[in-house]
Structure 1
């Protein structure tokens, strides 16, 4: 039987109602997904993910971290679907405390990293500096407790990998990496893994990335509800099979081989996934 791990998803996304989460989990199990790592972006996400993971302990494991970009909030306190702003330093400290408190429960620290997309930055150099400081604080905690990192690096691949290497980060997943080939090679030299979302089906950049990557450094993800194989569609964990199929086509091997190797890679990087087997 083919089984999979989805090593980067947002199960508690505002895109999903509580009822929808239940249906998504059921569908994932029907598709033989053995485990889902649900990562966070905000403090509120962290609290929610911890609670949701308790409801689905046989498939869902939490990651906690502060994303470099925070959602915009309207006057009623509701999270807006579009737009964002750079994270601030005071937002990371409560999450660092949560990570310390729940270090035995969480499978990774994430989603953390850097995002230098120009539409999110106003005071560019200052915000880049703060993002890096926030990232480094979370790397330090990962090193202290030997917890893997689940890393975002949009428009900042070079800087994210450079920061990780300089901070001596060891167990790293670079999710949906969009950096240049040279930076990919630096990440591989440092021992890092790269996860591939279903958007590979429509992304020449992700297809090129898979051509470069050796199979023993590839992991599957969905980034649900984002990065679907169909532009604009809501993604879900059951679509992780699409990543597997596209990797198999590019590498010229069977889906079963990709499943087996990515499954083993996931267990190597995220040992707590073994609790789901």
Structure 2
């Protein structure tokens, strides 16, 4: 049993074969998935997925790349949807300094507002962090994100950053990059992360693991991520699968 804790199965890349991709993943032992809705377009399609599949759950929030498009009332909309029994986190939220689409001050404001919402309804958060390690840690601390904790999605920072996130009660999630030949840092960090704070993901259709790198990713490929994580940790595939699934169920409050 495996848990893909971060996927985008509602993406247009799956328009022609979404049902087959989902069924293929389930047949491969990926028995739970969290689909992430991150803007005005993908939040509704994520909710449609969780209504259609018993084993798919939702994280919903406002992505930093789209922060500039957030309007009055959107935070209240997200809050209302969080009452749904299958919405298990607010995310993916965070900072992205790679794509120059939303000014940093707008990203900071939207992130702080969503952490505040998460604290008010006691829900974990899923953090997107691209090239913004120092500011992410600073804002998480200032907004007391440790009160709800959550997941550092597709973790790419140093062990120093990882330790600060772990100290705030976060889990670290790893995907396709740990299968890349030259991805030295995420492999070294994963080896040091305590087993009870480790999660696995695909971020499909992005970050496809080896040997399919360059092609469309899908949730079933979390098996390849699990194999790489098991090798890095020096444990069996069965053990890494069992532990990371247990971690995800506990982190997201899923029975």
- Give yes or no for TM over 0.5: yes
Q: 1:95 aligns with which of 64, 67, 74?
A: 74
CA distance in 2, matches of 1:7, 1:186: 21
Question: In the alignment, does 2:131 pair up with 1:155?
Answer: yes
Q: Which residue of 1 aligns with 2:141?
A: 165
* 1:22-171 correspondence to structure 2 within 5 Å: 22-56=19-53, 58-70=54-66, 87-88=67-68, 91=70, 93-105=72-84, 106-117=87-98, 119-120=99-100, 127-169=103-145, 170-171=148-149
Aligned residues: 247
Q: 1:16 aligns with which of 14, 17, 20?
A: 14
1:49 Cα deviation from its structure 2 partner = 1.0
CA distance in 2, matches of 1:139, 1:37: 19
Q: 1:216 aligns with which of 174, 196, 217?
A: 196
Question: In the alignment, does 2:255 pair up with 1:255?
Answer: no
1:224 Cα deviation from its structure 2 partner = 0.5
Normalising by structure 2, report the TM-score. 0.92
Question: In the alignment, does 2:168 pair up with 1:190?
Answer: yes
CA distance in 1, matches of 2:187, 2:79: 37
Q: Which runs of 5+ in 2 are unaligned?
A: none
Q: Deviations over 1:66-86 (max 9, x none)?
A: 10113xxxxxxxxxxxxxxxx
Q: Deviations over 1:166-193 (max 9, x none)?
A: 2111221001122222111111111110
Q: Which residue of 2 aligns with 1:233?
A: 215
1:121 Cα deviation from its structure 2 partner = 5.1
Q: Which runs of 5+ in 1 are unaligned?
A: 71-86
Aligned residues: CA RMSD: 1.5
Q: Which moved more, 1:180-189 or 1:93-102?
A: 93-102
Normalising by structure 1, report the TM-score. 0.85
| Conserved? CA contact 1:64–1:111, under 8 Å | yes
Q: Which residue of 2 aligns with 1:73?
A: none
Give the 4+ runs in structure 1 shifted more than 4 A. none
**SS at structure 1 position matched to 2:231:** helix
1:92 Cα deviation from its structure 2 partner = 5.1
Q: Kindly tell me: are residues 205 and 231 of structure 1, through their superposed partners in 2, closer, same or farther at Cα, counting changes over 3 Å?
A: farther
CA distance in 1, matches of 2:158, 2:200: 20
CA distance in 2, matches of 1:11, 1:95: 23
Q: Which moved more, 1:136-145 or 1:205-214?
A: 205-214
| Conserved? CA contact 2:47–2:58, under 8 Å | yes
Q: Which residue of 2 aligns with 1:79?
A: none
Q: Which residue of 1 aligns with 2:178?
A: 200
